[in-house]
Structure 1
Amino acid sequence: MGSSDAIPFGALGLLIIVLAYFIPTAVAFGRGVPNKGSVLVVNLFLGWSVVGWVIALAMAARSR
């Protein structure tokens, strides 16, 4: 395997990480929760920490 073979797998891995990072936002927009903007902001700025990501997911999963 050459170094050029690693580029697609690296890009795929990065895409998977980004998609996983924004799961709370996708859930909020998919469910149509009224605070979806707040979920996006919390996810964007605090999602890097596990606690922030869980808080954003809890906000997205909360009943309407």
Structure 2
Amino acid sequence: MLLANLDGIPVWVAAAFYFCLALLLVSALVGYLLPAIIAKRGEHPDAAQIAVLNFLAGWTVVGWIVALVWALRKPRPQWNPDLRR
């Protein structure tokens, strides 16, 4: 279908169509990987685990939402007994 005969269609229309198609695919990929991108850019300590969850279960809506929420949550500071004083 994408490589169909373009007889009668102006070249600029075909070029605009393929440009919009490429833009749509790139936007979909960035949207799919958004939780991993947020975790990496936010220097989340569990960024690798979030990316794995996003890659493996992101295709499900639930997996994508869990990865996004996890990426947006700030980790709790670890309790350090030396700081009690």
TM-score between both structures, scaled by the size of structure 1: 0.88
Q: What displacement does 1:4 show?
A: 2.6
Q: Quick check: 1:16 aligned with 2:4?
A: no
Match of 2:14 in 1: 4
TM-score between both structures, scaled by the size of structure 2: 0.68
Highest CA radius of gyration, 1 or 2?
A: 2
Q: Deviations over 1:8-33 (max 9, x none)?
A: 11111000000111110111011111
Q: Quick check: 1:56 aligned with 2:67?
A: yes
State how many pairs are aligned. Answer: 64
Aligned-pair identity in percent equals 30
The runs of at least 4 consecutive aligned structure 1 residues that moved more than 2 Å come to: 1-5
* RMSD value, Cα: 1.5
Q: Which has the higher contact order (CA 8 A, sep 6+)?
A: 1
Secondary structure of 2:74 counterpart: coil
